[in-house]
Amino acid sequence: MLNWRDPQNPLAGGAERVTQAYLEALVQRGHEAWWFANDFPGAAPTANLGGVHIVRGGGMGTSILHAVRWYRRQAPFDLVIDQHHGIPWYAPWWCRTRCVAYIHEVLGPIWSAFYPWPLSAIGRWQERWTHWGYRKVPFWTACQATRDCLRAHGVRDITLIPYGVHTRALPELEAKPLTPPLRLVTVCRLAPNKRVEHAVRLMKCLAAAGVTAQLTIVGGGEEEMRLRGLVAAESLQDRVTLTGQVSETEKNEILRRAHFLVHTSLREGWGLNVIEANAMGTPGLVYPVEGLVESTLHDQTGLVSAEETPESLAVRLQEILLQPDKYQSYRKAAWERAKTFHWDVVLPQACAWLEAQAQRGQ
């Protein structure tokens, strides 16, 4: 596995969690799994996580060279997985064995969230042409929208395998009446592309409409101080709480208590935290963007806003507040659907596909 980050990287997120789950499952099936990732301050050059061998080397702009040097000192591998996050590892041109590409999302507009023009335009251009260069490489993704983007860029061999979540669905769906105060939660890395400021501004919209609500923002990242400043500037300290990083147990408890998980990202590969919330009996309230419209089924397991604005989210909430019975139907449908994303359901399919790809290279 070639991926810019490993699970111990401070910037690791959902992509690293699911990657670790896949590799651990392969180890449990008797395979040997290695993961090459970028180095980071304070990191050991190697580690072993759940039987997966982690090797680190280099950083932005140099890690591919480190990976090539390390790879050529190893015994031959049966399969190399080149994980794409905007820029891939170009493994098909140097790995000399069977290679597949693993991708969560085509960044597209996300380039503009992190880089100014013309860097953002260059990023989008190279991503499109990189996919064309990989057009004969088998791709693996979980998102139908990502598959459609890849096809538009010339890729044809694309396999859809759903994500899994570690969060087990509650054994019983507890009562949670839709009564004030409305409890909302956002769970994500606080990065520009997540647009968490939209969730903060949603609270301003709800306050103006006379809706009593509380928002809990779970997670850390480079946007944290800016968000705290926005909360203060909008005088929302009594309505918005930023917790920073919390344990899985505490996160699940916050999700269990919430009425809705709010997700305002620019684009997602899927939206794993939506399914985690669903497992706790909490529907999603999300923007109509790629990935999120698949993890939340509008008017079934939650609500998708008509537009990518806080005002549109507020309209959806005000509508459902008048329909408490429908809210309960969302909860039940979301909870039941979350059970189909348990890892013990998903992993056998993913492992079987990877094993088949390795055998094709022999």
The answer to whether residues 314 and 355 belong to one domain is no
- The answer on 134 and 194 residing in a single domain is no
Instruction: Assess if residue 4 is contained within a domain.
Output: no
Query: Does one domain contain both 203 and 313?
Result: yes
pTM of the model: 0.88
In a domain, 90, yes or no: yes
Q: With respect to residue 330, please indicate whether it lies within any of the assigned structural domains.
A: yes
Same domain, 300 and 257: yes
Range of the domain at 159: 14-164+342-360
pLDDT band for position 134 (cuts 50, 70, 90): very high
DSSP 155: -
Task: Indicate the average pLDDT of the chain.
Answer: 96
Per-residue pLDDT reduced to its tens digit, 135-171: 999 999 999 999 999 999 999 999 999 889 989 999 9
Is residue 195 one of the residues assigned to a domain? yes
124 inside domain: yes
pLDDT > 80? residue 50? yes
Residue that is written with structure tokens 């929302």 in the block: 236
Q: Please answer whether residues 254 and 275 qualify as being in contact, where contact means their C-beta atoms are separated by less than 8 angstroms.
A: no
One domain, residues 200 and 116 = no
| pLDDT digits 0-9 by tens, 236-287 | 999 999 999 999 999 999 999 999 999 999 999 888 999 999 999 999 999 9
Question: Total domain count for the chain?
Answer: 2
Over pLDDT 90: what percentage of the chain?
Answer: 92
Segment (H or E) for 260: strand 260-263
Tell whether 169 is covered by a domain. no
CATH of residue 108's domain is 3.40.50.2000
149 and 235 together in one domain = no
What phi and psi values does residue 179 have, to the nearest 5 degrees? Answer: -125, 155
Tell whether 198 and 217 lie within a shared domain: yes
Q: Assess if residue 106 is contained within a domain.
A: yes
Residues 143 and 236 both lie in one domain: no
Torsion of CA 118, 121, 125, 130, to 10 degrees: 90
CA nearest 270: which of 18, 79, 69? 18
Q: Are 85 and 102 in contact (CB under 8 A)?
A: no
Domain co-membership, 33 together with 149: yes
